[in-house]
């Protein structure tokens, strides 16, 4: 019973903390635009390493954790280097150094970092046949991403990129707990699109932008929508009955490739945000980050009784979801 209560408490905390968007203002966007961006790469969890780092029984899992975090750092660094355009300059640094620089020159810098995370993926799994849920691995000091593991979400997980001035003024949701290079590009491109759109008028804010997204969804008729084959339960024949525009069902590798090559002939659909109440889907131009549509669906159900549990409805693209794109 205590376990059930603790799960509910965690989910309630997540729902309260992550249920609202940050209403970035015109002034916030302008401040970000004129500052140097300090980029803090994902940092290892010191508490995790202090607890398990000296435990020989956990050495294999600790190494998987370290490899996964290093892969994420390399991915964000590459994405920033190749795809960040909104500010004139960016500097990769540590969180400690970034905070020091912002304290000394509060009008000069903006800070980009991974936001607070609730990570329920299991790195230490003694007695379990399931390995830790990581995507990045190291072979001969070369880091590679395993797309198969990106779908192994057993419990709720939320990952974000935040911008601070030092107050947090912008947040974008990442689609996976262990982001790929493509996931970071996807997020950075949306940041650029949203902030650039806000700067078109002093009356704009993030809220006004998101409220008007549905009015431009017709632009999808000139794009090919890419749907991850692992994230849909639809056949091509079924999709054609509800979705009137061009589409393809492809592997994640194909989606990541169009993100890396900035191919604006394509749009992608993902659900980067999900909590105890709903999953939010975005349909985004792969080349420039334009958000064509967004909508929500339920995330969880609850099984009562003696063996009660909460089950994640991992965001799966169904006919119901695809039909909403036209609304």
Residues 46-83: pLDDT tens digits? 887 887 777 777 788 888 889 999 999 999 999 999 99
Q: Report pLDDT digits (tens) over 100-151.
A: 999 999 999 999 999 866 554 444 444 445 556 688 999 888 999 998 888 7
CA distance 317 to 327: 16
The predicted structure's pLDDT at residue 250 = 95
The predicted structure's pLDDT at residue 137 = 92
CA distance 272 to 161: 11
Write down the residue that tokens 């300059």 correspond to.
89
The predicted structure's pLDDT at residue 253 = 95
Asked if residue 141 and residue 95 are part of one domain, the reply reads yes
The predicted structure's pLDDT at residue 103 = 95
Asked if residue 234 and residue 157 are part of one domain, the reply reads no
The predicted structure's pLDDT at residue 45 = 83
Asked if residue 142 and residue 75 are part of one domain, the reply reads yes
Among 209, 224, 247, give the residue marking a domain's end. 209
The predicted structure's pLDDT at residue 88 = 86
Cα radius of gyration (the chain): 20
Asked if residue 99 and residue 22 are part of one domain, the reply reads yes
Asked if residue 287 and residue 275 are part of one domain, the reply reads yes
Residue 48 neighbours by CB distance under 10 Å: 15
Structural domain count of the chain: 2
User: Average pLDDT over the chain, rounded to whole?
Assistant: 80
For the ranges 15-19, 106-110, 137-141, 300-304, the maximum mean pLDDT occurs at 106-110
Q: In the 3-class helix/strand/coil scheme, how is 259-277 assigned residue by residue? A: HHCCCCCEEEEEEEEECCC
Asked if residue 317 and residue 192 are part of one domain, the reply reads no
Q: Is the pLDDT of residue 309 over 60?
A: no
Asked if residue 147 and residue 8 are part of one domain, the reply reads yes
By residue range, what is the domain housing residue 100? 1-209
Q: What percent of the chain has pLDDT over 90?
A: 47
Half-sphere exposure of 184 (CA within 13 A, CB side): 24
More confident residue, 324 or 167: 167
Q: Do 305 and 323 contact (CB within 8 A), yes or no?
A: no
Q: Is the pLDDT of residue 310 over 70?
A: no
In eight-state DSSP terms, residue 173 is E
Asked if residue 168 and residue 100 are part of one domain, the reply reads yes
The predicted structure's pLDDT at residue 55 = 76
Asked if residue 118 and residue 25 are part of one domain, the reply reads yes
CA distance 60 to 131: 10
Among 164, 179, 209, give the residue marking a domain's end. 209
Asked if residue 239 and residue 197 are part of one domain, the reply reads no
The predicted structure's pLDDT at residue 94 = 95
Asked if residue 241 and residue 187 are part of one domain, the reply reads no
Write down the residue that tokens 């500052």 correspond to.
35
Among 185, 209, 233, give the residue marking a domain's end. 209
What is the average per-residue pLDDT within 90-101? 96
The predicted structure's pLDDT at residue 117 = 64
Q: Do 266 and 310 contact (CB within 8 A), yes or no?
A: no
Residue 128 neighbours by CB distance under 10 Å: 9
Asked if residue 291 and residue 223 are part of one domain, the reply reads yes
Q: Is the pLDDT of residue 214 over 90?
A: no
């Amino acid at each position: 019973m205590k376990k059930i209560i603790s799960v509910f408490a965690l989910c309630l905390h997540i729902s309260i903390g992550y249920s609202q968007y940050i209403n970035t203002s015109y002034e916030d966007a302008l401040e970000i635009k004129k500052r140097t961006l300090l980029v803090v790469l994902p940092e290892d969890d010191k508490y995790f390493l202090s607890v398990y780092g000296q435990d020989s029984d956990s050495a294999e899992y600790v190494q998987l954790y370290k490899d996964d975090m290093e892969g994420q750092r390399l991915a964000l660094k590459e994405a920033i280097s190749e795809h960040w355009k909104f500010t004139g300059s960016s500097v990769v640094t540590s969180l400690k150094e970034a905070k020091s620089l912002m304290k000394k020159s509060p009008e000069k810098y903006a800070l980009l970092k991974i936001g607070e995370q609730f990570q329920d993926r299991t790195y230490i799994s003694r007695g379990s046949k399931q390995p830790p849920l990581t995507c990045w691995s190291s072979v001969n000091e070369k880091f590679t991403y395993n797309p198969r593991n990106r779908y192994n979400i057993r419990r709720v997980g939320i990952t974000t990129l935040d911008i601070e001035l030092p107050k947090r003024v912008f947040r974008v949701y990442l689609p996976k707990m262990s982001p790929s290079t493509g996931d970071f590009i996807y997020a950075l491109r949306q940041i650029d699109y949203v902030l650039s759109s806000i700067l078109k008028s002093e009356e704009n804010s993030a809220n006004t932008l998101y409220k008007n997204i549905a009015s431009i969804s017709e632009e999808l008729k000139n794009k090919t929508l890419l749907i991850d084959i692992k994230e849909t339960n639809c056949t091509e024949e079924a999709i054609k009955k509800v979705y009137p525009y061009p589409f393809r069902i492809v592997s994640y590798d194909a989606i990541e490739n169009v993100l890396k090559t900035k191919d604006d002939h394509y749009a992608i659909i993902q659900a980067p945000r999900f909590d105890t109440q709903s999953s939010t889907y975005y349909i985004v131009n792969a080349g420039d980050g334009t958000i064509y549509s967004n909508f929500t669906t339920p995330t969880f159900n609850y099984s009562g009784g003696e063996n009660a549990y909460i089950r994640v409805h991992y965001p799966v693209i169904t006919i119901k979801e695809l039909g909403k794109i036209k609304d």
